[in-house]
Amino acid sequence: MSYILWFLAYVGAALSAANAGWYGLSASDPGMGAYLSAAVLAFVAVLAVHGLAIGAHVWRAGHPMLGTLVAVGLLTCFTVTLGGGMGTIVNRAAGTEAKRTDLSTKFADDRAELSRIERKRSGLPAARPSGTVAAEIAATKRNRLYDRSKQCTNATATSSRKLCATIDRLGAELAAAYQAERLDARAAALRDRLHQANPETHRKTDAPATAMARLLSIDPGLASALYAFSVSLALELGAMLAMLAAELTSAARRRQPLQPIPRAELLPVEILDTQPEIDAPQISDNRPMARVDQFVLERLIATEGDNAIDVAAIHTIYCAWAEKLGCKALARKKFESLFVALCGAVGHAVERRGKRQYAIGLKMAA
């Protein structure tokens, strides 16, 4: 479960950093300044996500006041990150609103243009296709009367005037045909564009904000801001709490209760005395060496809480225990090394606080 919590925590941290960094990038002029602003906000977001976890870690290390100050100090990073996340959401919503407005305006303009073209087209006289009219004009001009009238510039005869009148009529019809065809082509293009466009996509609505405004009976602008705040807050708090839960779970795993060691598996005294990293003390008498593992089994009890015992104090009790048994006690440095190694072998935590070491989750038997 702790691995899932760590995964969720770092996914949340990445999303938080990206959300805040994008605001820094989009809110600044293009250039190095924008990238620097994005990097700063992303770093602040990472600090904010780790704020509670760092504070808890410092607290459990034996510095409660410092842990509190760290957690409270990093809350300022949380407020900055929250503002950046809200800015990203608001900017994105504003950009979407602007696009919707622009598309809606273009859609209305196309409708108005189509209506104007249809009215103008209906006012034109009926005309045959331009190709048909042009062919008829060409055929009419092949009449010899057209040449005799000098292309209708000197039409004095009655037959020539009738021919030229026919050509003028066909020319007017051809002009009307050309205009009608241009209007029809423009109208067809507009109809195709309007047909492909979905009017619902051009409505200037923000669905989440609209739903929140109706649910809470508040102004849509306030609802949009509240929605942006809620989304940003959910992301930041979710990432922070996941990080805190992962840290506490991992700490709990490091502090598993001390499991008793079966007597058959107790480390021999020879092994304890011949650890390569420890210099064995010189023995001046023949008394047996007091066993550290046996002392742990008899004198220490594992607890569920965060009780901590100074390893140096445990050595003092160990010396008294060894004297009572008539055995020799190990020197403090060697005892601490063996005690820490023994705790590590059974999965129990020993923390260093300053110059001293403390066994966590242990207490002395009565």
Q: Tens digit of pLDDT for each residue in 98-138? A: 666 667 777 788 888 889 988 888 888 887 888 898 898 88
Q: Which residues pair with 353 in a beta bridge?
A: 356
Q: If you average pLDDT over residues 131-159, what whole number do you get?
A: 84
Return all residues near 63 (Cβ < 8 A) that are at least 6 apart: none
- At residue 68, does pLDDT exceed 60? yes
DSSP string, 187-213: HHHHHHHHHHS-GGGGS---HHHHHHH
pLDDT in tens, 236-257: 777 778 777 877 777 655 554 4
Q: Which amino acid is at 140?
A: T
Rounded CA separation 301/250 (Å): 22
In Å, the largest CA–CA distance within the chain is 156
Backbone angles phi, psi at 198, to 5 degrees: -100, 115
Q: How many residues does the chain have?
A: 366
Report CA 76 to chain centroid distance, whole Å.
20
Q: If you average pLDDT over residues 294-305, what whole number do you get?
A: 80
From 114, 221, 123, 136, select the one nearest 180 (Cα to Cα). Answer: 123
- At residue 61, does pLDDT exceed 60? yes
| Residue whose tokens read 């407020």 | 79
Count of helix runs (H) and strand runs (E) in the chain: 12, 5
- With contact defined as beta carbons under 8 Å apart, do 300 and 320 qualify? no
More confident residue, 156 or 166: 166
- At residue 225, does pLDDT exceed 80? no
More confident residue, 333 or 28: 333
Q: Which of 19-28, 165-174, 217-226 has the lowest mean pLDDT?
A: 19-28
Residue-level pLDDT at 337: 86
Residue-level pLDDT at 281: 47
- With contact defined as beta carbons under 8 Å apart, do 340 and 359 qualify? no
Return all residues near 296 (Cβ < 8 A) that are at least 6 apart: 258, 261, 339, 342
pTM beyond 0.85? no
Confidence category of residue 278, pLDDT binned at 50, 70, 90: very low
Rounded CA separation 295/317 (Å): 10
Q: Please give the C-alpha separations between residue 317 and each of 291, 292, 325, 355, in angstroms, as whole numbers.
A: 13, 11, 13, 20
Q: Please give the C-alpha separations between residue 364 and each of 61, 67, 340, in angstroms, as whole numbers.
A: 21, 28, 16
- With contact defined as beta carbons under 8 Å apart, do 251 and 67 qualify? no
Tokens, residue 21: 């960094």
